[in-house]
Amino acid sequence: MILISACLAGFNVRYDGGNARNNLAVKLVALGQAITVCPEIMGGFATLRVPVEIQGGTGRDVLTGRAKVMNREGRDVTRQYLQGAQMVLKIARDHGVTAAFLKQKSPACGTKLIYDGKFAGNKVPGEGVTATLLQDHGIKCFGDEDLTLANVRPYVDAVTWENLHHDNPRP
């Protein structure tokens, strides 16, 4: 089973109320080969929320207590991010997830890049809290830019693979 950031499947769960719809993500969910999660929503945040960035490090540093997740207004939301990450991990384990395609640059889901914590739009190498936790538990994490047929192929069955090449999937 594949895990996908809910925003990639077209759900309006981003901090600004929007999504980052990816047609392949939508198709994988429709075919029953992927489940969607949003660590921020699972951590208790509303759909419209103040932007958040990791300050003092990366998702790894948050998990080890060396960095915090802060919103632009200066509120520490680390606890909610840790809670959301744990909930996603439980869902992943319960569904036998082996790979996750997550929204790049997110303080929860980033797999290669996150914002630097200064709310100036600058990106730095690093992973979000949820992506780090999933990888620590053996789940291969990819960013949304890696959500391609070639990268999905190892994680789907033959019927799904065939259906991914058609506009009208067959059961």
Q: What is the pLDDT of residue 170?
A: 47
The residue type at 49: R
Q: What is the C-alpha separation between 53 and 69, in angstroms, rounded? A: 6
Per the listing, tokens 């759909």 go with: 47
Q: What is the C-alpha separation between 9 and 20, in angstroms, rounded? A: 8
Alpha carbon distances (Å) from 51 to 67, 120, 165:
17, 11, 37
Mean pLDDT by 10 residues, the chain (171 residues): 98 97 96 97 96 98 98 98 98 98 98 97 97 98 96 93 71 47
55, β-bridge pairs: 68
Q: What is the pLDDT of residue 105?
A: 96
The residue type at 83: Q
Structure tokens at 113: 């890049």
Q: What is the pLDDT of residue 171?
A: 47
Contact (CB, 8 A) for 11 and 135: no
Q: What is the C-alpha separation between 126 and 83, in angstroms, rounded? A: 20
Q: What is the C-alpha separation between 34 and 134, in angstroms, rounded? A: 16
Q: What is the pLDDT of residue 167?
A: 60
3-state SS class at 117: coil
Q: What is the pLDDT of residue 168?
A: 54
Residue 6: how many other CB atoms lie within 10 Å = 24
Q: What is the C-alpha separation between 127 and 149, in angstroms, rounded? A: 23
Note the pLDDT tens digit of each residue in 40-82: 999 999 999 999 999 999 999 999 999 999 999 999 999 999 9
